[in-house]
Structure 1
Amino acid sequence: MLLQPATQTTPAGERAVAPRIAEVRTVPYAIPYRKPLRFASGSIDVADNVLVEVVTSDGVVGFAEAPPRPYTYGETQASIVAVIEKIFAPAIIGLSILDREAVRSRLARTVGNPTAKAAIDMAMWDAWGKTIGTPVHRLLGGFTDGLQVSHMLGFDDPDTVAAEAVELRETLGISSFKIKVGRRPVHLDVDVCKAVREALGPDAELYIDGNRGWTAAESARALRDLEDVGLSRVEELCPADDVLSRRWLVSQCPVPFVADESAPTPADVTREILAGAATAVSIKTARTGFSGSLRVSHLAEGLGLEAVIGNQIDAQVGTVCSLVFGASQEITSRSAAELSNYLDMADDLLDEPLFIENGYMRVPKGPGLGIQLDPEKVARYRVDL
């Protein structure tokens, strides 16, 4: 079947053919973290991401980034570059920048590779926003102009984690924190949570993410031990593959139980919710792009679920993508979004730094994603030359 040319309306009201995808480029880069982030499913001490650029026939360049998470999705920096250059780019070059569903269909012929697919999708949105001079945030829905920020705290001893939380509240006004758990014995993480609560007082929001590190029985024990901490929600405490024990755990959980890596697609969300394996969902644009994230958020809204913006340990470009999407939808704007872990990076690729004030981050106002890359920094940190 022949694809019909996509069209756009010019300012004068004339119909014109929308630009087409002329090139898809990958730029692998590496920026170290000042300190490693450790959690139950792995650790990270360098942002070895892939910048993905979609170039249109008009010369507009849209970009996004793909963060490899081999311990979660099986992708590496090398595999992301290879699948885009050898399979995805040849499949979509020549399509209109507006043919997002056609692109989605062609990428779906290759299984897996979620962050590579997501980056292409978001780069297409960025290119279209730049083409028509409109922020992607508005194209997606434009519900509000910013989000409350939540920070993710990795494994460490109780005093160190508590001190980090206090410093972030005092310097940036952040008062929402995800605490990484999943170690054995369970009391190691229980002690951390209690120390953070004691240091911050009753007004801070605290929630935990196990990255599937505990069994259901260990998770239930931890929830009992943490009753006085006042958690707002919990996430992936035990593996979703432990079908009956996970259902047993969720049935007695007193707060929303968030599906994250167990439910990256609308189909996965439907399965987990109907199976009683979760009661809320985490949306990560790094793995579902903007188009897939819209699907998940609309599904969550229809099912009456809480939907939160999670962190793929994103660098600055990925953080902006999460911010832009989260602020565009009412359902995701209700909760603090995980937007601040780029703070632990030694540098970035942007020409202007991101800014958190009073625990809040505002959406950039420019067209597309509203950000620009610093070409000197891109050249300095790229690793393919």
Structure 2
Amino acid sequence: MTTVTKIDQIETLILDIPTIRGHVLSMATMRTQTAVLVTIRFSDGSTGVGEGTTIGGLSYGAESPESIQSAIDTYIAPALIGRDADDVNGAIQLIDKLVKANRIAKTAVEIALWDGLGKRLGVPVSQLFGGAVHDRLPVAWTLASGNSDTDIAEALEMIEIRRHNIFKLKIGKRSVRDDVAHVARIKAAVGDAASVRVDVNTAWSLQDARWGLKGLQDAGCELVEQPIPARDRAGMAELARDYEIAVMADEALNGPEDALEVATARAADVFAVKIGQSGGLKRASEVIAIGQAAGLGLYGGTMLETALSTAAALQLFATVDHLAWGTELFGPLLLTDEILTQPITYRDFCVEIPKGVGIGATLDPDKIAFYRRDTARITRAIAGE
């Protein structure tokens, strides 16, 4: 008789890792990135690891690191203990019934389940989504110091060392005129050697965006990400229709339901697909499918995760035949330290898909012990523990 592998234990802990510089968003400046790590132990002795990470605490979205950990410990983990470890789809469906929203918390657990399944089967997670068609992908770098001279020097260095030739600028804290001038200076400095894009993180009004997109377009910028609030789909549709510059939806995309509405309204030219914002690898694959069916461009987005969740995202994006706008899975490079025993490789303007089984990531226990915020929280199958 075949023995069914069960979910025995789910452990969560929070890591706080400093960033290499202040990362200026329209709503906050990040100097530390906080990640929730999930370790699932299975009855056959195998393990799976996952990560849930957001940007800027509650200033970006409805989930914080603390709420992610609480949602997993209080609601998700108890429902999964004792279940068939290989039934990942069943676990996803159960969690969706029991827990509304909380997509990043769901993502962290789901990554660990896929990682464990891949390890037990001896295959990379990409194989569980049909197989990788890429071994590396173009990767952008975000210029977010807020200072034009600093950003220009950083961009030119990245081009020189062949690490990045796609740059996204974080704007939205200053006037539209000042933002456009900042972008124009950087584009003029890098010229045809690099692609320049911007992310406004919903900071502009529709009126601001009309002026902003025209100025950005004239400056040679190629794409603007979520210039206006996510709820204003009619405004996004107007901007996508009226300007040649590509308009990308980001905060407007929280899973396949949003993706369908955005695509139907033609409220974007491009989808920024984030596994955490989508609700996991499975839901992100559905967002990708909707974007493909609608003829929209695709972009592998990031929540500035550590290398753990970045590896998981790369396993999924490696299976997508055409990512017209590449990826921005540079999260590990923004941190002052590496938490994997084998770092993700960035070279020749690309990020390489991690090798090995599962998500292809092994945590460095010494680094985890150093950066962990407090004691771990554990949900076990054995009563009383």
Secondary structure in structure 1 of the residue aligned to 2:13: strand
Q: Distance in 1 between matches of 2:65 and 2:199?
A: 25
- Structure 1 residue 17: Cα displacement: 4.5
- Structure 1 residue 342: Cα displacement: 2.3
Instruction: Identify which of 127, 132, 151 aligns with 2:116.
Output: 127
Q: Does 1:358 align with 2:361?
A: no
Q: Distance in 2 between matches of 1:242 and 1:165?
A: 33
1:30-69, CA deviations, whole angstroms, 9 ceiling, x for partnerless residues?
Answer: 1111212111132211111111112211121111211134
- Structure 1 residue 358: Cα displacement: 0.9
Quote the residue 1:209 is aligned against: 199
Quote the residue 1:8 is aligned against: none
Counterpart code for 2:74: K
**Compared with structure 1, are the counterparts of its residues 316 and 193 closer, same or farther at alpha carbon in structure 2 (3 Å cutoff)?**
same
- Structure 1 residue 243: Cα displacement: 4.5
Q: Distance in 2 between matches of 1:369 and 1:244?
A: 38
- Structure 1 residue 356: Cα displacement: 1.0
1:296-328, CA deviations, whole angstroms, 9 ceiling, x for partnerless residues?
Answer: 111111111111101111111122122222112
**Structure-to-structure mapping, 1:19-38, within 5 angstroms:** 19-38=5-24
Q: Does 1:274 align with 2:264?
A: yes
Aligned-CA RMSD value: 1.7
1:66-111, CA deviations, whole angstroms, 9 ceiling, x for partnerless residues?
Answer: 1134223321222111111111001111222232222122222222
Quote the residue 1:94 is aligned against: 82
Quote the residue 2:299 is aligned against: 308
Q: Does 1:180 align with 2:170?
A: yes
Is residue 165–residue 349 contact of structure 2 (8 Å, CA) maintained in 1? yes
TM-score by length of 1: 0.91
**Compared with structure 1, are the counterparts of its residues 205 and 17 closer, same or farther at alpha carbon in structure 2 (3 Å cutoff)?**
farther
Is residue 64–residue 317 contact of structure 1 (8 Å, CA) maintained in 2? yes
**Compared with structure 1, are the counterparts of its residues 98 and 256 closer, same or farther at alpha carbon in structure 2 (3 Å cutoff)?**
farther
Q: Distance in 2 between matches of 1:145 and 1:351?
A: 20
Quote the residue 1:139 is aligned against: 128
Quote the residue 1:113 is aligned against: 102
Quote the residue 2:322 is aligned against: 331
What residue ranges of structure 1 are gaps of 5+ in the alignment? Answer: 1-14
Q: Does 1:320 align with 2:311?
A: yes
Instruction: Identify which of 39, 46, 52 aligns with 1:60.
Output: 46
Relative to structure 2, which stretch is displaced further, 297-306 or 165-174?
Answer: 165-174
Quote the residue 1:192 is aligned against: 182
Q: Does 1:103 align with 2:94?
A: no
Quote the residue 2:383 is aligned against: none
Q: Distance in 2 between matches of 1:243 and 1:374?
A: 43
Relative to structure 2, which stretch is displaced further, 244-253 or 202-211?
Answer: 244-253
TM-score by length of 2: 0.91
Quote the residue 2:236 is aligned against: 246
What residue ranges of structure 2 are gaps of 5+ in the alignment? Answer: 376-385
Is residue 73–residue 113 contact of structure 1 (8 Å, CA) maintained in 2? no
Is residue 37–residue 50 contact of structure 2 (8 Å, CA) maintained in 1? yes
1:282-304, CA deviations, whole angstroms, 9 ceiling, x for partnerless residues?
Answer: 11112332111111111111111
Q: Distance in 2 between matches of 1:189 and 1:16?
A: 62
Is residue 183–residue 214 contact of structure 1 (8 Å, CA) maintained in 2? no
**Compared with structure 1, are the counterparts of its residues 295 and 16 closer, same or farther at alpha carbon in structure 2 (3 Å cutoff)?**
farther
Q: Distance in 2 between matches of 1:174 and 1:249?
A: 28
Instruction: Identify which of 63, 68, 83 aligns with 1:80.
Output: 68
**Compared with structure 1, are the counterparts of its residues 78 and 226 closer, same or farther at alpha carbon in structure 2 (3 Å cutoff)?**
closer
1:172-227, CA deviations, whole angstroms, 9 ceiling, x for partnerless residues?
Answer: 43101111121331122212211221221113111111100011111111121122
Secondary structure in structure 2 of the residue aligned to 1:55: strand
- The size of the alignment, in residue pairs, is 370
